[in-house]
Structure 1
Amino acid sequence: MAQRKNKLIILSGATATGKTGLSIDISKKFNNNKFSVVNFDSLLFYKELNIGTAKPTIEEMQAVEHHLVNVGSISKEINANDFVKLAEEKINELHEQGKIPILVGGSTFYVRSLIKGMYESPSPTDELKEEIEILYKKEGIAPFINFLSKNDPESLQQLHENDHYRLMRAYEHYKTTGSPISVQKKSYDENNPYDFSKNIRPDWDMLHISLELPKELHWQIMEKRAKEMIDTGLIEEVKELLAQGHTGHEKPMQSIGYKETLAHLSGDLTSKKELVERVFINTRRLAKSQKTFLKKITPKETFHTLEERDKIFDLVSRFLNS
């Protein structure tokens, strides 16, 4: 008789599609003590970033236990490799306790790394790490983009300009090996990195639920969120971080919301209205990128967040009883 697999639910979706609320609703409907949320939104890892990340409220985190939220500081980035180690440990711990983890987030590269594994790069030298850190703090992401445009244009074309981690990783890989990381990625892609049914987790029984909203409604929600972030103190949060000695060049501080607020404080975006608009535009771009990535992932069940909740609950019920 085959050994029973440990169940796990993945709840994905672009930013502002209602993932946190649904994860709590699922937990409440099917027994709070059975579920635990494991975050895979990369910005929620950092204890200093709150308003600009739409972090779950204290009440939400008390309603259902959350893990991998506020586990690090912006002074030391938690990359995909770090996340995989943290998530593996936490998920195994929860399974041993008889609980069902719900992986919740929009950083699909991170969750794919957990499910499918990562293509490997040789470890860079300490000298190269220091060189990259100094260059990034001094000049931001621009010199890395310029380098890749000449030496690895294929990777540059595939990566979003806000994806500083992977842009810098491509730079690091080339500097270490003398060849583009896109060459190694081609080998990884031959095994279809978007097919979650072929994974490195044979002991997990996974249900992947992906959330979507109609474009017009989604835009309204993103615009409202951008305005609320500014109205509820994002500018003050960034000012406080700078006053504490952070430079603003930390990778998490270059994410949407924080990057634009830093530009506002430096005088590049003069009015709050202009700041809100820029955050909204960049959030839309991020959401489009996330949706493009998610469309490639199989298998998954996709639902309208607001109108198909009963269908989601029915699917979860059948999964739990299977």
Structure 2
Amino acid sequence: MNKHLISVVGPTAIGKTAMAIEIARHYNCEIISADSRQFFKEMSIGTAVPSEAELKAAKHHFIQNISVEEDYSVGDFERDAIEKLKEIYKQNNIAVMAGGSGLYVKAVTEGLDHFPEVDSKIREQLNEELLENGIFGLQQKLQELDPVYYSKVDKENPHRIIRALEVCLQSGKPYSAFRNQQKTPRTFHPIFVGLTSDREVIYDRINQRVDLMMKEGLLEEVKKLYPKRALNALNTVGYKELFQFLEGNFTLEEAVAEIKKNTRRFAKRQLTWFRKQPEIKWFDYQTPAEEIMVYLESKTHG
């Protein structure tokens, strides 16, 4: 277990990419992106994909590597990321992972429960129901099919609700029946670095980022994707609100305010998820990189 995976986590817009690059340059190693929104080629502005300069500063994997048309689950990512790490570890005992998608980080560092393959038609039907009738009907359906998981799930997260429902409908069994299985042991030691700040600072950074995205052309990006709006990948903050604007349900000002509000909620959920993990060493987002390197050196050589 002399191999390490340094995982940089924290809420959206806190500076994870920049810190991951600093660490990758220090160790002359590569970065695995665990940001599930950055996998898609057609989405760049609204997902805050690393800039050309950032991508040149350190080698990244799983950035804009698939299409929104493709079904790509957290299980697919777990498999692909573990394979990529095996390659990386042939050259270097250290790799970096960055991203705020807690489930995707967990998939790589711990492993996930394995669920049955789901017919894409089931997923499409559930996404259409969400678009037409909102989340309430899906919540009720999940409560009927799997009250155990319903009592634990984030009921405002459509991805989680749909994921559970599609497994229930495909298998005829509750989603909860597939959880907490034996995991495949990892051949590396995970080290977690968390970046955070006061809530006001996080929210202010989010608001500034959304304004910058709009200036950079987020609306134009969303217009191109509008015909594909029913796809699972596009049912996400920054895109769904502007689809609502294009359909005449919001003014542009209202849509931007909704993006900011929903991104702040997302950040709150990210912090709730990560704060339950005692193995994460937290740093203020303005902590000098050198100070974080001292901590990492103690963990990688300790």
Query: For 1:12 and 1:258, how far apart are their aligned partners in 2?
Result: 23
Aligned to 2:39: 45
Aligned to 1:131: 122
1:27 aligned onto 2:21: no
User: Against the structure 1 CA distance between its residues 74 and 115, is the aligned structure 2 distance closer, same or farther, given a 3 Å change threshold?
Assistant: same
Aligned to 2:298: 318
Query: For 1:47 and 1:154, how far apart are their aligned partners in 2?
Result: 36
Counterpart residue identity of residue 19, structure 1:
K
Contact 1:162 1:255 in 2 (8 A): no
Out of 219, 222, 237, the position equivalent to 1:235 is 219
Aligned to 2:77: 83
Query: For 2:186 and 2:63, how far apart are their aligned partners in 1?
Result: 26
1:120 aligned onto 2:118: no
Counterpart residue identity of residue 5, structure 2:
L
Query: For 1:122 and 1:39, how far apart are their aligned partners in 2?
Result: 25
Q: Quote the RMSD (CA, aligned, Å).
A: 2.2
Q: TM-score if structure 1 supplies the norm length?
A: 0.85
Query: For 1:162 and 1:241, how far apart are their aligned partners in 2?
Result: 24
Q: TM-score if structure 2 supplies the norm length?
A: 0.90
* 1:271-317 residue CA offsets vs partner (Å, 9 max, x unmatched): x3222211111011111111111011231211111135443121122
Query: For 2:78 and 2:231, how far apart are their aligned partners in 1?
Result: 21
Larger CA deviation: 299-308 vs 139-148: 139-148
Counterpart residue identity of residue 232, structure 1:
E
Aligned to 2:205: 221
Task: Write out aligned runs for 1:126-165 (5 A).
Answer: 126=119, 129-137=120-128, 139-140=130-131, 142=135, 143-161=137-155, 163-165=157-159
**Number of paired residues?**
299
Q: Following TM superposition, by how much is the alpha carbon of 1:146 offset from its aligned partner in structure 2, in angstroms? A: 3.4
User: Against the structure 1 CA distance between its residues 202 and 110, is the aligned structure 2 distance closer, same or farther, given a 3 Å change threshold?
Assistant: closer
Contact 2:8 2:20 in 1 (8 A): yes
Aligned to 1:195: none
1:63 aligned onto 2:47: no
Contact 1:115 1:200 in 2 (8 A): no
Query: For 1:37 and 1:184, how far apart are their aligned partners in 2?
Result: 31
Query: For 1:226 and 1:111, how far apart are their aligned partners in 2?
Result: 24
User: Against the structure 1 CA distance between its residues 229 and 159, is the aligned structure 2 distance closer, same or farther, given a 3 Å change threshold?
Assistant: farther
Query: For 1:301 and 1:117, how far apart are their aligned partners in 2?
Result: 21
* 1:144-174 residue CA offsets vs partner (Å, 9 max, x unmatched): 3331133324433433356444322211222
* 1:68-92 residue CA offsets vs partner (Å, 9 max, x unmatched): 1011000113210110111011111
- SS of 1:209's equivalent in the other structure is strand
Query: For 1:178 and 1:220, how far apart are their aligned partners in 2?
Result: 45
Structure 1 gaps, min length 5: 192-198
* 1:47-104 residue CA offsets vs partner (Å, 9 max, x unmatched): 1101100110011000111111011000113210110111011111100122521010
Out of 176, 179, 189, the position equivalent to 1:182 is 176
Aligned to 2:243: 262
Contact 2:110 2:186 in 1 (8 A): no
Larger CA deviation: 7-16 vs 310-319: 310-319
Identity of aligned residues (%): 28
Structure 2 gaps, min length 5: none
Contact 2:109 2:186 in 1 (8 A): no
Q: Following TM superposition, by how much is the alpha carbon of 1:184 offset from its aligned partner in structure 2, in angstroms? A: 4.2
Counterpart residue identity of residue 113, structure 2:
Y
Counterpart residue identity of residue 234, structure 1:
L
Aligned to 1:293: 273
Contact 1:137 1:250 in 2 (8 A): no
Out of 7, 12, 17, the position equivalent to 2:9 is 12
Query: For 1:130 and 1:47, how far apart are their aligned partners in 2?
Result: 23
1:205 aligned onto 2:189: yes
Contact 1:19 1:104 in 2 (8 A): yes
